[in-house]
Amino acid sequence: MNFLDELQRLVAQVERGINQHLPLPDAAPRRLHTAMRYSLEAGGKRLRPVLALATAEALGVSGDGALPAAVALECIHTYSLIHDDLPCMDNDDLRRGRPTAHKAFDEATALLAGDALLTYAFALLANAYADQPNLAHGLIRELATAAGSQRLIGGQMADLLAEKKANATSEELDFIHLNKTAAMIEASLVMGGLVGGAEPSQIATLRTAGRHLGLSFQIIDDILDVTATSHDLGKTAGKDARTGKTTYVTQHGLESARRFAAAHASAARLEIARFPGSVGFLIALIESMAARTK
């Protein structure tokens, strides 16, 4: 099977998993559950859940074994976008080519839908893996740490603070990228590994690979903000430059940023290549992420 077919298969599995595992839109209160699905069903690359599914498959766990973990990752990612788009944060009207949650509903509903998706990620893991409490526990610990105040949320906070300063330092920029973006990509590989029964040393390899992949991904995001159109990105392009935000591009220039991104993608590929199991798809996915233009 070729890469794009395989990717499409996994994305379709994620879409099905979202539909299957989220509370129904007519659960009370209906407006809240409709908003949760509105943002979660808006499409997007489904990168984090696909990474989790592909990692579990590389370890021999195919089928829906890793699907609740994959959906939980997407719940966290989506909540972070909803809150990030709010007027008091980035104040964005457009996300994945559609009105953001607070535009389609209202600010209070968007706030609560984000809170609900964040909370639901943990309820889903606890319920779906209830017959394997050790696994449930490991997955929840990984996700709560990656999404927490010293990783994902810490990265968002540091990002906000950096926007208010004329020049963020290189150290501050690294903190932001490592936590705002890489934490959840790391967790995606690690959670796929946990479902696949990976040994501690393999988990460490997945963590290192995830960190490099996440850094590469965020640097490319910074590059695309300069080089791509809003239409391609499905969100407002050129925003970093307009707000005077420090990015890898402003700090190192476009060409150096491209070299950094490629180096991190290579490092991720090398880590994954030493992994036992059939890692062909994962490696192709890393390469495709490094070559993305939107």
Chain residues in the site for a copy of itself (CB under 8 A): 23, 27-29, 31-33, 36, 79, 83, 86, 88-89, 106-109, 111-112, 114-116, 118-120, 122-123, 126-127, 130, 133-134, 136-137, 140-141, 144-145, 147-150, 153-154, 156-158, 160-161, 175
Eight-class DSSP state of 140 = H
Q: Which residues pair with 95 in a beta bridge?
A: 98
Find the Cα–Cα–Cα–Cα dihedral 188, 184, 68, 32, rounded to 10°. Answer: -160
Six-digit token pair at 9? 């298969």
Spatial distance between the Cα atoms of 195 and 197, rounded to a whole number of angstroms: 5
Q: How many helices (H) and strands (E) does the chain have?
A: 16, 2
Sign of torsion over alpha carbons 208, 209, 212, 213: negative
What are the DSSP E strand ranges found in the chain?
94-95, 98-99
- 3-state class of 149 per DSSP? coil
Eight-class DSSP state of 64 = T
Count Cβ atoms within 10 A of the Cβ of residue 252 and give its class: 0-12 exposed, 13-18 middle, 19 or more buried.
middle
Q: Which residues pair with 94 in a beta bridge?
A: 99
Is 191 in contact with 143 (CB distance < 8 Å)?
yes
| Backbone conformation region of residue 198, classed left if phi is above 0, alpha if psi is from -120 to 50, else beta | beta
User: Measuring CA to CA, which residue among 40, 66, 39 is closest to residue 51?
Assistant: 66
User: Cβ 254 to a copy of itself, closest distance in Å?
Assistant: 28
- 3-state class of 44 per DSSP? coil
